[in-house]
Amino acid sequence: MRIEKKITLPPEEVKYIASLLSAEPTSQEECFGEEETIMHTAIFGNGIEMDIKLCGVQYEDGGFNKPWTEAVLFKNGIQVACTEPDETYLGEWCLKYDGNEYVTCVETVLRGCPFCGNKNITTGRSFFGGMHSFSCGICKISVQFQWEDRDKCIDVWNSRTDKEVKLCSEA
């Protein structure tokens, strides 16, 4: 059985996490250290919880010093499954245990829908093909797109109005 939960983060926190994941620290002071962690927990019930974590690293001159991410599944506080280390925080995190698939979707709320202005858009990232998405409850649309460079704008097609719209990152 597939059991899903959502964690919605404020844009400011997503921006901070994205900055930690993208910037290569040039000194120990700039490094998100090995004792530092950002964590959000999805509670599935029956003692099952999934932690989504941004984990710091020990700084090494000339080494890879960016933090990494993972999901860890617990049953009554005991770790039962975990993902391989990754470099993204938003999106679907899936772990299997005891015949069930536990899925946590970490997403954020953007400023508003580029089509209707609705302020409660949700966004996410799928691990399948690196696709990003946003959906709007008022327009009843969901758009998936590839976003290679987060500092640039992309063009997305609104199939409801048959118009192209420019979507820019908040970074």
Residue 80, pLDDT score: 98
* HEC per residue, the chain: CEEEEEEEECHHHHHHHHHHHHCCCCCCCCCCECCCEEEEEEEEECCEEEEEEEECECCCCCCCCCCEEEEEEEECCEEEEECCCECCCCEEEEEEECCEEEEEEEEEECCCCCCCCCCCCEEEECCCCCEEEEEECCCCEEEEEECCCCCCEEEEEECCCCEEEEEECCC
Residue 132, pLDDT score: 63
Contact of 150 with 18, CB cutoff 8 Å: yes
Domain locations in the chain? 2-87, 110-168
Residue 170, pLDDT score: 45
Residue 131, pLDDT score: 57
Residue 149, pLDDT score: 44
Non-local CB neighbours of 167 within 8 Å, separated by 6+ positions: 114, 134, 145, 153, 154, 155, 156
Residue 22, pLDDT score: 82
Residue 33, pLDDT score: 86
Q: Splitting the chain (171 residues) into consecutive groups of 10 residues, what average pLDDT does each group show?
A: 90 82 86 91 97 92 90 98 92 94 84 67 58 69 56 49 51 39
Interval 117-133: pLDDT, tens: 677 776 666 544 455 66
pTM: 0.68
Residue 12, pLDDT score: 77
